[in-house]
Amino acid sequence: MIEFRNVTKVYETGIAAVNNTSLFIEKGEFVFIVGSSGCGKSTLIKMIMKEVEPSNGHIYINGIDITKISKRRIPILRRSMGIVFQDFRLLPDKSVYENVAYAMRVIEADPKIIKKQVPNVLSLVGLLDKAEFLPNQLSGGEQQRVAIARAIVNNPSVLIADEPTGNLDPDTAWEIMSLLSDINRRGTTVVVATHAKDIVDRMKKRVISIKNGIIVSDRENSSYVEEHNEGIAQNPNDYSHLSKHNFPWTKRKAGA
Ligand code: ADP
Ligand code: MG
């Protein structure tokens, strides 16, 4: 459902934030994108949302090459995605309920459906009893739960989170990641950029590790790969650190 084919992003400064990267994320997967600050995680995520354009290569979302779609169709693309950021980005003078409902109003959802759906997702994130609170009356973890409720209220096919626990204490961070995992179990594809090593190690999900804009490992049921374990520099013809996901075209059989 998300495919990068030889994607490169060179910023105006000359920095290659993402360098000739290919990856494939299937519908229903939970994927961590890890790596130290500046390795290119946010750039990768912004390209999925079409907030940043790649300098080279192609990105397919649900089979559509989004590097080729017109500006007019970007809102439709973004509607298929829920996004969560490190700094929550809630509307400060709107209630929890209104923050979530707003995401449905902008797509002109039927008010009757809004009235049903908002309490549904608030209950899913455990905040139904705080629906009338303002963001500044909530803890950081609760604010992030509101942001997650808002991100999933329109039933996106993929939920993308960029450092969603970066501003939270370890226990709260774990709760938020567990919530993302619950949402994934209900069928939503989830992609999380993070450097929360302890949580990644505990969750045993697919982990894509990036260094200097290059995928240096991609493993199922994995933990955070430490830099000294990375194998890319040692033998340029050794691809054992990469999984089949980096070569999606090799696994696709005719008719598959
Ligand atoms: P991460 O999210 O892993 O910290 P980023 O994708 O934000 O990494 O950044 C990757 C590299 O690209 C860094 O060297 C960063 O300084 C650079 N970069 C990010 N955004 C921009 C930009 N808008 N203009 C120029 N350079 C950028
Ligand atoms: Mg980042």
Q: Which two tokens stand for residue 43?
A: 């750039």
- Per-residue pLDDT tens over the stretch 84-126: 999 999 999 999 999 999 999 999 999 999 999 999 999 999 9
Rounded CA-CA distance 54/67 in Å is 8
Write out the E strands in the chain. Answer: 2-10, 16-25, 30-34, 56-61, 64-65, 81-85, 158-162, 189-194, 205-211, 214-222
Q: Which residue has the higher pLDDT, 248 or 139?
A: 139
Is ligand 1 within 6 A of the CB of residue 17?
yes
Which residues lie below 8 Å from residue 60, measured CB to CB, with a gap of 6+?
Answer: 2, 3, 5, 66
The pLDDT assigned to 34 comes to 97
The pLDDT assigned to 203 comes to 94
Is ligand 1 within 6 A of the CB of residue 40?
yes
User: What are the helix (H) ranges across 68-192?
Assistant: 74-79, 96-105, 111-124, 140-152, 170-185
The pLDDT assigned to 222 comes to 85
Which atom of ligand 1 is the closest one to the Cα of 11? 25
Which ligand has the minimum distance to the alpha carbon of residue 40? 1
Q: Which residue has the tokens 């693309």?
A: 77
pLDDT at 249 over 60: no
| Centre of ligand 2 from the C-alpha of residue 76, in Å | 24
CA 165 distance to own-chain centroid: 13
The pLDDT assigned to 224 comes to 87
Which ligand has the minimum distance to the alpha carbon of residue 34? 1
What is the three-class DSSP state of 42? helix
Rounded CA-CA distance 104/100 in Å is 7
Which residues lie below 8 Å from residue 72, measured CB to CB, with a gap of 6+?
Answer: none
Which atom of ligand 1 is the closest one to the Cα of 36? 3
Rounded CA-CA distance 164/84 in Å is 6
* Listed residues: CB within 5 A of ion ligand 2: 41-42
The pLDDT assigned to 230 comes to 47
Q: DSSP for 121-140, please give it.
A: HHHHTT-GGGTT--GGGS-H
Which atom of ligand 1 is the closest one to the Cα of 163? 2
Q: Which residue has the tokens 């050794």?
A: 238
Is ligand 1 within 6 A of the CB of residue 11?
yes
Rounded CA-CA distance 39/142 in Å is 29
Is ligand 1 within 6 A of the CB of residue 126?
no
User: 56-61 and 2-10: which strand pairing?
Assistant: antiparallel
- Per-residue pLDDT tens over the stretch 34-80: 999 999 999 999 999 999 999 999 999 999 999 999 999 999 999 99
Q: Which two tokens stand for residue 46?
A: 């912004």
| Centre of ligand 2 from the C-alpha of residue 256, in Å | 35
Give the model's confidence band at 219: pLDDT under 50 very low, under 70 low, under 90 confident, else very high: very high
Is ligand 1 within 6 A of the CB of residue 33?
no
CA nearest neighbour of 88 among 13, 25, 138:
138
Rounded to the nearest integer, the mean pLDDT of the chain is 91
| Centre of ligand 1 from the C-alpha of residue 9, in Å | 10
